[in-house]
Structure 1
Amino acid sequence: MRANWVEVRNFGRLQSYRAEFGTGGLVAFIGANGVGKSTLALAMKFALTGTINTEGNKDENICQLAPTTEPSWVKFCFTHGGATAEITRYLRPSRPAEMIISDGSPHREEITQDRRVTARVEELLGVDQRIIDDIVMADQGAIFGFLAQTAAKRAEAFAKIFGTDVAEKIWKSIGEHVASIRLWPHVNLDGIRDSLQTCRTQLAAVQQNLGDDSSAAVQQRLAALNERYRQATLREQTRARLVQVSEQRAPLQSQLATAQTTETEYRNNVELLETTIKRGEAGVTDAHVLLRSQS
Structure 2
Amino acid sequence: MLKKLLLLSFCLFTGYISIQPLTALADNDWYVSIPESIVDMNAPWNERFQYTSVVYLTDQGLKSKIPLPFDCSVKCWVAVNTQNANNPSQPRYVDPGQPNVMFKGKTTGDALSALYNNIGSMIYTSQGTAPDRRGEGIEWCGAVAISPSGSGSSYVLLPGGECGRLPPASLSCVLLTPDVLLDYGEFHKSDLLDNSLDKRKDGTFKIKCDRDATVLLSLISQDEENSTNRGTRIVFDDNYDLVSYLTINDKAALTPTPFEVTGGDNGTEFKVTSELALEGDQKVVLGPFSSYAYIVLSYQ
**Range class of TM-score, shorter chain:** under 0.3
TM normalised by structure 2 equals: 0.23
Higher RCO (CA < 8 A, seq sep 6+): 2
Higher strand share: 2
